[in-house]
């Protein structure tokens, strides 16, 4: 490899490993809205609360000291009466914080980007969901014909027993893809780690892990490497946290409080995806994609590429070899998303490849 391309690779992965991360932490009573906005949307309003119809209560998000975490945390209030959804909708209630178009770019998920969301929450020991929705977290698109239905929703639902549900919608139809008994989440602090690779054509990855804060025991874990994690013509996807619940089953609701702490949005810039295509260009065609039988076929129409470097989604070099035949053996790779960079003396091209080996 020439010195020029070596420098390119080094710069590429120095950039890849540069991670933009900020943590929103409570710091004590007073100026809570200002603190939240300074993190999620400096100079703007990232809070959707029911204060307009319940001014006598005051702000519906405040900060209290928690002895378990030994620090201040955010407390989200919702009242069975008279709270509503921002004095706009009265059949539901909303008290949420969000990223949106006025937020820093690092907080907005874009196509072919890997983002990690982390936070902690605590449901009261007597927490009551209804048979309808009681959302506590969403990943929701902005823009496009499918933006009305969130990509991902974490919601509590009354049942026998009550459930914490993970709901997913690749377009306009949402369904429950995983659930656990809600009782194990009540009265304790839990920590959430959520990881999304945003992709439009079924090469997306999603994982959520919820553990008990006291001993790190796993309470909830779902992972899927073959999802459509994008919405048609979306501009970006944003996170939301708080309480958003329907009043259609209000007899099963009560005044509620949820504690949240340590919101983190960790953007992992992946420059390998900026100029990648799924299969072909004028000079290079690789197939099949996904790779199912272990072999990636290379059609190099001008016979110009002589080296290939393959990296996993975290930027680790997995394979480096000269191109001496029209196929590469990938049978030793674990299923997942990979990035292949093909080099010639004066050119380079990148391809995003999915590996599904039938073992």
Rounded to an integer, what distance in angstroms lies between the CA atom of residue 341 and that of residue 320?
10
For residues 121 and 259, membership in a common domain is answered with: yes
For residues 196 and 342, membership in a common domain is answered with: no
Q: What is the count of structural domains for the chain?
A: 2
Considering 268, 288, 307, which residue would you say is the last residue of a domain? Answer: 268
For residues 68 and 174, membership in a common domain is answered with: yes
For residues 297 and 162, membership in a common domain is answered with: no
For residues 69 and 107, membership in a common domain is answered with: yes
What is the predicted pLDDT for the residue at 293?
A: 86
Domain presence at residue 14: no
**Which range in 18-27, 79-88, 342-351 is most confidently predicted, on average pLDDT?**
79-88
171: number of Cβ within 10 Å? 12
For residues 119 and 73, membership in a common domain is answered with: yes
> Does residue 345 register a pLDDT over 70?
no
- For residue 300, what is the domain's CATH number? 2.60.40.3080
Considering 268, 293, 322, which residue would you say is the last residue of a domain? Answer: 268
For residues 38 and 145, membership in a common domain is answered with: yes
Residue 357: pLDDT band by 50, 70, 90 thresholds? low
What is the predicted pLDDT for the residue at 336?
A: 83
- Bigger pLDDT: 189 or 289? 189
For residues 45 and 149, membership in a common domain is answered with: yes
> Does residue 247 register a pLDDT over 60?
yes
Average of per-residue pLDDT across 119-124: 98
For residues 248 and 293, membership in a common domain is answered with: no
> Does residue 277 register a pLDDT over 70?
no
Rounded to an integer, what distance in angstroms lies between the CA atom of residue 165 and that of residue 198?
21
Domain presence at residue 145: yes
For residues 137 and 211, membership in a common domain is answered with: yes
CB contact at 8 A, 157 and 254: no
Average of per-residue pLDDT across 256-279: 70
CB contact at 8 A, 272 and 16: yes
Domain span at 34: 19-268
Domain presence at residue 207: yes
For residues 263 and 189, membership in a common domain is answered with: yes
- For residue 76, what is the domain's CATH number? 2.60.120.200
pTM score: 0.76
Kindly report the backbone phi and psi dihedral angles of residue 60, in degrees, each rounded to the nearest multiple of 5, phi listed first. Answer: -90, 0
Rounded to an integer, what distance in angstroms lies between the CA atom of residue 189 and that of residue 97?
19
Residue 344: pLDDT band by 50, 70, 90 thresholds? confident
Considering 235, 268, 301, which residue would you say is the last residue of a domain? Answer: 268
Tell me whether residue 332 is exposed, middle or buried, using C-beta atoms within 10 angstroms of its C-beta: 0 to 12, 13 to 18, 19 or more. exposed
């Amino acid at each position: 490899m020439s010195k020029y391309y070596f420098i390119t690779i080094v710069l590429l992965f120095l950039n890849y490993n540069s991670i933009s991360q900020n943590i929103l932490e409570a710091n004590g009573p007073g100026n809570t809205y200002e603190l939240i906005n300074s993190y999620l949307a400096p100079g703007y309003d990232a809070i959707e609360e029911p204060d307009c119809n319940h001014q006598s209560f005051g702000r519906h998000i405040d900060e209290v000291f928690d002895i378990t975490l030994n620090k201040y945390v955010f407390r989200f209030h919702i009242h069975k009466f008279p709270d509503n959804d921002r004095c706009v909708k009265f059949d539901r209630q909303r008290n949420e914080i969000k990223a949106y178009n006025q937020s820093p770019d690092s907080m907005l998920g874009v196509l072919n980007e890997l983002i990690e969301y982390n936070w902690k929450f605590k449901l009261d020991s007597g927490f009551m969901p209804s048979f309808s929705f009681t959302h506590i977290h969403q990943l929701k698109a902005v823009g496009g014909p499918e933006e009305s239905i969130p990509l991902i929703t974490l919601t509590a639902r009354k049942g026998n027993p009550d459930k914490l549900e993970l709901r997913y919608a690749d377009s306009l139809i949402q369904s429950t893809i995983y659930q656990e008994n809600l009782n194990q989440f009540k009265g304790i602090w839990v920590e959430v780690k959520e990881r999304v690779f945003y992709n439009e054509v079924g090469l997306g990855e999603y994982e959520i892990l919820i553990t008990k804060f006291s001993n790190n025991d796993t309470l909830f874990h779902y992972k899927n490497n073959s999802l459509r994690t994008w919405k048609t013509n979306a501009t970006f996807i944003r996170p939301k946290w708080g309480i958003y619940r329907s009043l259609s089953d209000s007899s099963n609701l009560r005044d509620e409080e949820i504690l949240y702490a340590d919101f983190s949005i960790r953007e992992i810039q992946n420059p390998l995806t900026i100029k990648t295509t799924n299969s072909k260009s004028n000079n290079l065609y690789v197939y099949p994609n996904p790779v199912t039988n272990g072999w990636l076929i290379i059609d190099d129409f001008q016979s110009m590429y002589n080296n290939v470097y393959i990296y996993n989604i975290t930027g680790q070099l997995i394979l480096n070899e000269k191109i001496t035949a029209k196929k590469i053996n990938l049978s030793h790779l674990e299923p997942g998303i990979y990035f292949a960079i093909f080099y010639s003396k004066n050119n380079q091209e990148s391809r995003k490849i999915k590996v599904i080996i039938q073992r």
